[in-house]
Chain A
């Protein structure tokens, strides 16, 4: 978020082509900085906010004088900011017997302001609510004492909500929540207040401007309508394809709790009319299994309007989702734990909102709460039925369509791979992949770190580890091959496994080229592969066949002499040497 100084610098920019919205700000304390922050932030959202700022403490004069600047200005939106500090001054001057009536009296005067303005102007109204001040006079007992200031302030906030729920043109901007999020010492700076009559610290102004602009945006129809969620490590902990349904983390234990609470949040959004779409790199039936069978899953398939699980790139999949929903990209939010996917979507679809989810899933929700992504100005029962409608729509429309030219796309990734035999640096990762990979794993033979070290030293074996890096980031070590000398002519592929994150990148072709090259240089005639089926490695059943191996006696054979090198877009970083 930009700080106040940066927002002020925006004021010097060219606003001439931006959408003009006229706003009047009426406050009982100094609002000059708030005005600058709102106008400055408006620029970043494409608004030229023309702001009428009344001198402070003139709310009543502006509202009740028909000849006031307010009525000449004809604003689209009127913002009324009564501060908690002025409320406290009023309370301080009230005799004890009248203190229990403070909130009701105040509410009556606020309602009169609303009625007078809406009677005379065709404007929407935004009232700021009251950030809490506990004057400490009663201690905790304030909560059971109607005449305490805290009691009256909270009552007023509550009654304001009740009033807003009945008044169609009244919206509340929730200052109290902002103070809860940042803490009072950051919200309010006493020395600044004493010197200037400003009750908002300079530090918190951008947040308040942002919460105000969120309302202005939604009043102008700019709202988020759809949230697209990733599955592995976003909706549940772990990788469904590798870990299996019994090992993913969701439920009340440990980190599973973070994912369950995240799912409840998504479910609440769905219930209030936000369309939920899934976009996951997985096989479709594997991705759907937890929704159907895991007892702790909060989200069910019927909550999801569009479910896309495949190995295509996510920008294309989001285009697909957009096509089905027929809504703007700027009304979509994409939540994914993987920085690569986020950057990729940001680059290809800059209008989609892609929050930078924290690394620790435990922090997802607090972070998302703070962003206020799903501002709205209306809510009705029909919103709830939207999901069903789009589920039907999705079935009708989805025809596999490629938006991005595959070769151009792969070329644009500028991929590099480092190929090395096992060594002491990559051994832990090789062992980890060997233990964890289930889907892209031809024989699923598991090796521990000690096994990996031994194989690396054994001259009967040749070992290969592959990394992949592209312009969006480094995927690290993602593929492992172990070749065993079976005879003077034959190299047996003891292990070939790969992380599914890098499917559809041409990595398999690159790996095979590397193996063939190696075999030829070392005088071998053929490669011999084997597929051992497991419950999870269906995706590589035809792996060798697709790469041009011939089936013989239950094994797959590739003749090196006649091999046609495959075309790919991965650059070799370093030439391979058998032993380090």
Chain B
């Protein structure tokens, strides 16, 4: 799976989880860019991503991402690994 494919799937997860069709993710997107993306929603997103890609993040990873691009890298390292 490529980073672009993962980004697209991630976008769908975001739309479903925060219930907002207008979300368009880019690699540079951060929590500041999306109003609904607070610390609780973040956990919901993490769990939804884990379920979708059948992976598990460490508790450190969950706190480490600076932007969506880093989330994608994290997923990529787990699904291709």
A residues adjacent to B (C-beta < 8 A): 4-5, 8-9, 12, 32-33, 189-192, 194-196, 198, 201-203
Minimum CB–CB distance from A43 to chain B (whole Å) comes to 15
B77 at the interface (CB under 8 A from A): no
Residue of B nearest to A201 (CB): B47
A12–B57 Cα distance when bound, in Å, is 30
Instruction: Give the size range of B's interface with the partner.
Output: 10 to 19
Residues of A contacting B22 in the complex (Cβ-Cβ under 8 angstroms): none
CB <8 Å contact, A195 and B43: yes
- Interface contact B40-A33, CB-CB below 8 Å: yes
Interface pair A12/B19, CB less than 8 Å apart: yes
Task: Find chain B residues with CB under 8 A from A4 CB.
Answer: 44
Kindly name the residue among B39, B59, B62 whose own CB sees the greatest number of chain A CB atoms within 10 A.
B59
Chain B hits for A9, CB < 8 A: 19
* In the complex, the 6 A-B pairs of residues with the closest C-beta atoms, listed nearest first: A191-B59, A194-B59, A202-B47, A195-B62, A196-B43, A192-B43
Q: Which residues between 23 and 50 of chain B lie within 8 Å of chain A, taking CB atoms?
A: 39-40, 43-44, 46-48
Bound: A398/B56 CA distance, A: 60
**Chain A residues within 8 Å of B2, by CB:** none
Contacts of B46 in A (CB 8 A): 191-192
On whether the beta carbons of A191 and B48 are closer than 8 Å, the reply is: no
Cβ-closest chain B residue relative to A193 = B59
Contact A190 B43 (CB under 8 A): no
In the assembled complex, which residues on chain A have CB atoms less than 8 Å from the CB atom of B63?
A: 195
* B39 and A191 form a contact (CB under 8 A): no
**Which residues of the partner chain A approach B48 to less than 8 Å between Cβ atoms?**
5
* Complex: A202 Cα to B16 Cα, angstroms: 15
Cα(A4)–Cα(B39), bound, Å:
17
Interface residue B11 (Cβ < 8 Å from any Cβ of A): no
Q: List 13 A-B contacts (CB under 8 A).
A: A5-B16, A5-B48, A33-B43, A33-B44, A191-B46, A191-B56, A191-B58, A192-B46, A192-B47, A195-B43, A198-B43, A202-B43, A203-B47
Interchain CB contact (< 8 A) of A196 among B16, B17, B19, B40: B40
Interface of A is mostly: helix
Residues of B near A191 (CB, < 8 A) are 46, 56-59, 62
Q: How far is the CA of A566 from the CA of B8 in the complex (A)?
A: 62
Is A32 a contact of B40 with CB atoms below 8 Å? yes
Rounded to whole Å, the gap between the CB of B57 and the closest CB of chain A is: 6
Contact of B44 with A202 in the complex, beta carbons under 8 Å: yes
Q: Which residues of B are at the interface with A, using a C-beta cutoff of 8 A?
A: 16-17, 19, 39-40, 43-44, 46-48, 56-59, 62-63
Known contacts A9-B19, A192-B43, A203-B47; can you find 16 more A-B pairs with CB under 8 A?
A5-B16, A5-B44, A8-B44, A33-B43, A33-B44, A189-B47, A191-B46, A191-B56, A191-B57, A192-B47, A194-B59, A195-B59, A196-B39, A196-B40, A196-B43, A198-B43
**Across-interface contacts of B19 in A (CB, < 8 A):** 8-9, 12
Query: A12: which B residues are within 8 A, CB to CB?
Result: 19
| A180 CB, min distance to chain B CBs, angstroms | 22
Looking at the assembled complex, report how far the CB atom of B38 sits from the nearest CB atom of chain A, in whole angstroms. 10
Bound form: Cα–Cα A198–B47 in Å: 13
- Cβ contact of A5, chosen from B17, B39, B56, B59, cutoff 8 A: B17
For B16, list chain A residues within 8 Å (CB): 5
Q: In the complex, what distance in Å separates the CA atom of A12 from the CA atom of B19?
A: 10
Q: Nearest chain-B residue to A198 (Cβ)?
A: B43
| Chain B contacts for A192, CB-based, 8 A | 43, 46-47
> Chain A's nearest CB lies how many Å from the CB of B40?
6
Q: Please, how many angstroms separate the alpha-carbon atoms of A8 and B19 in the complex?
A: 9
Which of chain B's residues have a CB closer than 8 A to the CB of A8? 19, 44
CA distance A190 to B56 in the complex (A): 11
Q: Which residues of B contact A33 (CB under 8 A)?
A: 40, 43-44
Nearest-CB residue, chain A, relative to B17:
A5
Which residues of B lie under 8 Å from residue A202 when comparing CB positions?
43-44, 47
A35: min CB distance to chain B, Å? 11
Q: B44 contacts A190, CB within 8 Å? A: no
Q: Cα distance A195–B47 when bound, in Å?
A: 12
Residues of B contacting A5 in the complex (Cβ-Cβ under 8 angstroms):
16-17, 44, 48
- A198 CA to B40 CA, complexed, in Å: 10
Question: How far is A577 from B41 in the complex, measured between Cα atoms in Å?
Answer: 65
B59: which A residues are within 8 A, CB to CB? Answer: 190-191, 194-195
B40 — which chain A residues lie within 8 A by C-beta? 32-33, 196
A12 to B36: give the CA distance in the assembly, Å: 14
Chain B residue with minimal CB distance to A191? B59
Q: Look across to chain B and name the residue whose beta carbon is closest to the beta carbon of A36.
A: B40
> Complex formed: what's the CA distance from A194 to B58 in Å?
10
- B46 CB to closest chain A CB (Å) equals 8
What chain A residues lie within 8 Å of B47 (beta carbons)? Answer: 189, 192, 201-203
Q: How far is the CA of A203 from the CA of B46 in the complex (A)?
A: 12
Shortest CB–CB separation between residue A1 and chain B, in angstroms?
15
Distance A33 CA – B41 CA, assembled complex (angstroms): 10
**Chain A residues, Cβ within 8 Å of B17:** 5
A32 to B41, CA, bound (A): 11
Smallest beta-carbon distance A290→chain B, Å:
47
Complexed CA–CA distance, A149 and B76 (Å): 41
